[in-house]
Amino acid sequence: MSSTDLPSVLATSVAPKVGAVRVAAGERLRKVGLPGITLTFRSRPPAREGLPPALYVHGLGGSSQNWSALMPLLDGLVDSEAVDLPGFGDSPPPDDGDYSVTGHARAVIRYLDSADRGPVHLIGNSMGGAVTTRVAAVRPDLVRTLTLVSPALPEVLVQRSAVPTALLALPGVASAFTRFTKDWSAEQRVRGVMALCYGDPTIVTPEAFRNAVEEMERRLALPYFWDAMARSARGIVNAYTLGGQHRLWRQAERVLAPTLLIYGGRDQLVSYRMAQRAARAFRDSRLLTLPDAGHVAMMEYPETVATSIRELLAETGELADAGTTNSAGS
């Protein structure tokens, strides 16, 4: 067990009765059982045979739905698949209760190995950015390119607005917050999350807001929701303090894959000032900064993000495999 792993806690084997996960037009869900974990994947039928695979990894509190706006824009370029990490979305908790960055990275690696799906274009947001950085560092054979949207890499001076999320890592805070907010409606909670994650929450459409409220209601009915949040937050904090070869910045320096870094100027969780440090750390990097974006640029500006990914693939020669027809072009 690595020093970032949390003590083992057996997950419940009884699936709670909650509402169904929303599936957007053109998407499909499937479950994959692996030793100790069951993962749910959201995918789109590839535009044609032979497209290179892409795997999308969400952040803390997110799910594969976070990629629903971006995936259709890459239909002609890649064969898209987004994962619900253990304990999030429609994936049940891991049997061993390991929500560390290493544990999540191990789940991704375990799937790619079992499916013989790599190498993939690996795309991560926030906590998923830390997870995919670790995957790319320890298993370069599984990664064609790496795209990181506001990756949760260690910061010395954490933004004040990010402190409440980090506090979830402390023992008892999640349960105390649950008691304090027991009367909050799903609508109130979603507005709070969007105010924190979006550079401009007013760009969220009424339909997207309704869908987010529905998903929030579903998640709150899950008995392990807050445990997964708290333990994953603790995993991020532990990863921030880890030294040696497992230090995330050192692993960033080990990444061989061409890397696209995307940072938002209004990000309240990952500081915009970290963009230049990240660009220096990843040896083969290119940087996209979006002054008006917040923490989830792929949801706020999916067309811009899709165009940048297409440019990454073109620059690295990956478009030759994807063909010339795509929906992310001009």
Strands 120-125 and 143-149: parallel
pLDDT-based confidence at 118, cuts 50/70/90?
confident
pLDDT band at residue 23 under the 50/70/90 scheme = very high
Element of type H or E holding 108: helix 101-115
Query: What's residue 181's pLDDT?
Result: 65
- CA proximity to 64, closest of 4, 100, 24: 24
Q: Which residue has the higher pLDDT, 255 or 324?
A: 255
Predicted confidence at residue 150, as pLDDT, reads 97
Distance CA 241, CA 275 (A): 20
Q: How far apart are CA 55 and CA 127, in angstroms?
A: 15
Residue 244 has pLDDT above 90, yes or no: no
Tell me the mean pLDDT in the region 278-286. 97
Burial class of residue 298 in the structure, from the number of CB atoms within 10 Å of its CB (0-12 exposed, 13-18 middle, 19+ buried): buried
pLDDT confidence of residue 238: 87
Q: What pLDDT is attached to residue 294?
A: 97
Tens digit of each residue's pLDDT (9 = 90 or more) over 29-72? 999 999 999 999 999 999 898 999 999 999 999 999 999 999 99
pLDDT surpassing 50 at residue 8: no
Task: Look at the chain and count its residues.
Answer: 330
With a cut of 70, say whether residue 322 has pLDDT above it. Answer: no
Q: How far apart are CA 288 and CA 209, in angstroms?
A: 27
Sequence-distant (≥ 6) Cβ neighbours of residue 96 within 8 angstroms: 8, 9, 10, 36, 103
What whole-number distance in Å separates Cα of residue 165 and Cα of residue 120? 30
pLDDT of residue 165 exceeding 60, the answer is no
For CA atoms 116, 117, 119, 123, give the dihedral sign.
negative
**So what's the pLDDT on residue 330?**
39
How far apart CA 144 and CA 52 sit, in angstroms, is 9
How far apart are alpha carbons 60 and 101 in whole angstroms? 11
For residue 112, is pLDDT > 80? yes
Q: How far, CA to CA in Å, does 321 sit from each of 79, 91, 119, 324, 328?
A: 11, 32, 13, 9, 16
Place of tokens 């910045």: 249
pLDDT confidence of 161, banded at 50, 70, 90? Answer: low
The helix or strand, by DSSP H or E, that contains position 40, with its residue range, turns out to be strand 37-43
The model carries a pTM of 0.88
Largest pairwise CA distance in the chain? 54
Q: What DSSP string runs through 114-162?
A: HHT--SEEEEEETHHHHHHHHHHHH-GGGEEEEEEES-----SS--GGG
Let me know: does 10 contact 92? Beta carbons within 8 Å.
Answer: no
The lowest-confidence range among 177-181, 283-287, 298-302, 325-329 is 325-329
Nearest to 150 by CA among 46, 66, 56, 268: 268
Report CA-CA distances (Å) from 262 to 126, 129, 200, 305, 318. Answer: 11, 11, 17, 8, 19
Q: Given a cut of 80, is residue 179 above it in pLDDT?
A: no
Which residue type sits at 205? T
Hey, what are 74's tokens? Answer: 């890459």
Q: What percent of the chain has pLDDT over 90?
A: 71
Residue 19 pLDDT more than 90?
Answer: no
pLDDT at residue 14 greater than cutoff 70: no
Burial of 327 (0-12, 13-18, 19+ CB in 10 A): middle
**Pairing verdict, β 285-290 and 79-84:** unpaired
Instruction: Please state the rounded mean pLDDT for residues 141-163.
Output: 82
pLDDT tens track for 67-97: 999 999 999 999 999 999 999 999 999 999 9
